Amino acid sequence: MTSPPPLTNLRVLEFAGLAPGPFAGKLLADYGASVLRIDRPSSSASSDLLASRKRSLRVDLKSAPGISLILLLAQRSDILIDPFRPGVLEKLGLGPSVLLAANPRLIYARMAGFRRSGRYAAMAGHDINYIAVSGALAMLGRKDGTPYAPANILGDFAGGGMVCFVGVLLALLHRAATGMGQVVEANMVDGSAYLASFPRFAMLNPAAGRGGWTKGRGENLLDGGVPWYDTYRTRDGGFMAAGPLEPHFYATFLSLLLPAHTSKSIPDRDDRANWPVLKALFTETFLQKDRAEWERIFDGSDACVTPVKTYQELREEGFEHAPVVTLKESPALPAGEEAWTGAALAPGQGGREALQEWFMLEEGRHWMDVEEGATLVVGKAKL
């Protein structure tokens, strides 16, 4: 018999924002936390599909009663996620100094793009800009090509939302030991730079890195620079991914890809001058069979070759997405179909129930819902 998810009974205020903030909130919700998204009163729809198990409350943050309601909720919350540019919540009177004074146990997580100080602090940006100034983007792309951003996975989600989630977990550990909350500072520049630690270390320490990242973009061991760590098109337009780095895996790869060749007839991969020849040989060979045929050849082997599958294929095959990490004794809540489709949340949806169930606030007695959004009933709820 398993226990409830580890974050059960934690209450989270998530100010509505773009991908990284909602992703951090989704991770918290997946592991049991109760998440209330704070939306603007003018919001009638939301494109956020990271809203699994969340509820929403419309609040006018430009009104005193709206600010008072947030202050009350923050006093009764465990975690707050601030996705705005530096200074936005501070100008509203909802900065860390105010909310931590009202609730010393609060974990105030601030999710920014650029660092909060320095050259870019006051500038707008998106994922591509954050990973650009982190140094990570310069490593990504083919030789002689421009740097290429991998969608917004590296900055928004890995270096942003996931890193923020880790910071919140660390702050929860600290609070368990001390009873005190704190400010968690996360930004996508530092997050993505940290994720690029391995190639950076290899680049600056060639001997320790075994030559893995000593050349320019697209010319190294793990960035498509070598023929045995790359993707190849198949006859039917599919792709296979090949990564037999170790000699014994490479030997298995060659024996299955090129069974008619002898080891002496294949150019030595340790001679860089042979790489274009090997690349052409592998490219031509993979084009001779459909992807399914190559799958049958390589499946079950140690050649380190797998098909490049699309999400449409995986869904048709009945692939089930697991949580980001499996806890055997206190697992995450099941995702089900939402793992494929995401979950939308209309502004205001579930907010009334959340205030009643999570914060014990009764509509009409403690708060009321007006055209401008939810507001505190002045004098009826203790601040």
Q: How far apart are CA 72 and CA 96, in angstroms?
A: 14
Q: β-pairing, 79-82 with 107-112?
A: parallel
**Gap between the Cα atoms of 71 and 121, Å rounded:** 27
CA atoms of 29 and 260, how far apart (whole Å): 54
Q: Which of 48, 60, 127, 156 is catalytic?
A: 156
Give strand pairing partners of 307. 240
Give whole-number Cα distances, 379 to 84, 268, 352, 376, in Å.
30, 81, 20, 9
Length of the chain as a residue count: 383
**Strand 367-370 vs strand 305-307: parallel, antiparallel, or unpaired?**
unpaired
114-119 long-range contacts (CB < 8 A, ≥24 apart) are 114/187, 114/188, 114/189, 115/187, 115/189, 115/190, 116/86, 116/185, 116/187
CA dihedral 319, 324, 330, 334 (to 10 degrees): -40
- Could you confirm whether 156 is annotated as catalytic? yes
H helices of 114-162, in order, are 127-134
Helices (H), 31-83: 64-75
Rounded distance, CA 217 to CA 239, Å?
22
H or E element in which residue 350 lies: none
Between CA 5 and CA 381 the distance in angstroms is 31
- Residues labelled catalytic: 156
